[in-house]
Structure 1
Amino acid sequence: MSPQVFIVIGPAGSGKTSIAQQTAKDHEAAYLDKDRVSGRFVEFALAATGHDPTDRESNDYYRDNLLPLEYETLMDVAGVNLRLGRSVVLDAPFGAYFGDPDYLTRTAESFHWPTSTITVVRVRVPKDVLRTRLIRRGLERDQWKLAHWDEYWSLYGRLECAWSGVEYLDFNNEAPLPVD
């Protein structure tokens, strides 16, 4: 049986990580989280170049220089695992690439992925629930999003993925988090 690819997408705070980790466990797949694979390097590079290491959404330097490297690294590591026969679960927003229908086809070819079934799990969550989750988790990297909420939501909250050659699975994750 050929390895499978699961790509779990959704805005920050949507529950991508929980769903991606459960998917990896259920399929005995390698779990690859973009922030764990390259996040520390990105934060260092942003700080070293005089940029706020927590602001990626409004930072042109990040989007033009570092974001492509993050995703290339993630897809390269996925390719190595797939060639070893190991299914992979990718946990990343991927929003910058949603509008390119051929993104995954090109990427799979560039990084020598073997023929694999690719399932994109779209994690859906309403605007008000997402904002509450970001506030409650209290991460520094969410501060720009919250301070510019309407702008953030209009750019990232309703992005639709246009990738071809994949299976889509929608996951409604709108239940509010339990009260602590």
Structure 2
Amino acid sequence: MTVKMTKSFQGRFVTGSFPGTGRTTWRVTQQSRSVRTEVTNLVNLPAVLVTGPPASGKTVLARAVARSLNAALFDQDVLTRPLTAVVAGLLGTDDLDDPRLALSTRAARYETLFDAAADNLAIGNPVVLVAPFTAERRDPLALRRVADRFAAFGGKTTLVWLRATPDLLRERMSGRSAARDRAKLADLAAFLDRVDLAPPTVPHLAVSAAAAPADQVRLVRDHLDAAGPPRQ
């Protein structure tokens, strides 16, 4: 698949090699004042969606997998927290789990996440995404829409689910003492009763949240390697 972009700069021929993903070629040709940049993309690039219950270790695993794959990492909270906080202020709440806030911002937050990932796939970068993916892990059509969107840029989507027990979540939330957990810790039993610990109803790779990070990464890499390496 080829993506073409036009920019105004002095051009040259460049061949870039991306560790862990094979080879992506940049062909730049001079056209009077403009330069046409032609990027030949890989297919089968990993697009890993990491999800699980709160405090299951999503961010830790996603960072480790991204490092292992030399991939771009996109955490929904990091990408969208500043603007979400603005909307929360307009709604008069500081609770990021407030249903009004979730309804007002969900679509925009996921669009931001998916757009950033698609842009990176388009230039040959594997991607790792972190988010609850509530709809995608319950609705096959929702996951298919994401997979098709990424496939258009050479991505192959894998959903990774961190499997956790209530006892593990209780221990993790109590130990990390994060500001976002204060309301949950105030009535932890009630919060855990509301948490959906059931595995996704769509194809996914289950990883134990209690396992060592190195073992978790090894399981993800083995799964991705079984699907075959990126290719042109």
Q: TM-score, normalised by structure 1?
A: 0.83
Flag structure 1 segments of 5+ consecutive residues without an equivalent: none
Contact 2:76 2:130 in 1 (8 A): yes
Distance between the aligned counterparts of 2:78 and 2:122, measured in 1? 21
Deviations 1:121-173 (A, max 9, x none): 1111211111111111111111222234344323334143233xx5x222112
Q: Is the 8 A contact 1:95 1:159 kept in 2?
A: no
Residue 172 (structure 1) aligned with residue 208 (structure 2):
yes
**1:77 paired residue among 116, 121, 125:** 116
- Where relative contact order (Cα < 8 A, 6+ residues apart) is larger, the structure is 1
Give the C-alpha shift of residue 78 in structure 1.
Answer: 0.7
- 8 Å CA contact 2:164, 2:197 repeated in 1: no
Structure 2: state its 5+ residue gaps.
1-41, 213-232
Task: Provide the secondary structure at the position in 2 that maps to 1:102.
Answer: helix
2-structure distance, mates of 1:148, 1:56: 16
Which residue in the other structure is 1:56 paired with? 96
Rg (Cα) greater in structure: 2
Higher strand share: 2
Aligned length: 170
CA contact (8 A) 1:14 1:130 kept: yes
Deviates more, 1:95-104 or 1:147-156: 147-156
- After superposition, the C-alpha distances for 1:37-93 in whole angstroms (9 at most, x for unaligned) are 1112112210232112xx233x22112111221111101111111111111000112
> Counterparts of 1:155 and 1:118 in 2: how far apart (Å)?
28
1:142 pairs, out of 137, 156, 181, with 181
Matched, 1:131 2:170: yes
| CA gap 1:155/1:97 in 2 versus in 1, 3 angstroms | farther
CA distance in 2 between partners of 1:70 and 1:148 (Å): 28
Superposition deviation, residue 119 in structure 1? 1.4
Structure 2 residue 132 is the aligned partner of structure 1 residue 93: yes
Aligned partner of 2:195 in structure 1 is 156
Matched-pair contact (CA < 8 Å) for 2:62–2:130: yes
Q: 1:33 to 1:113 in 2, by over 3 A?
A: farther
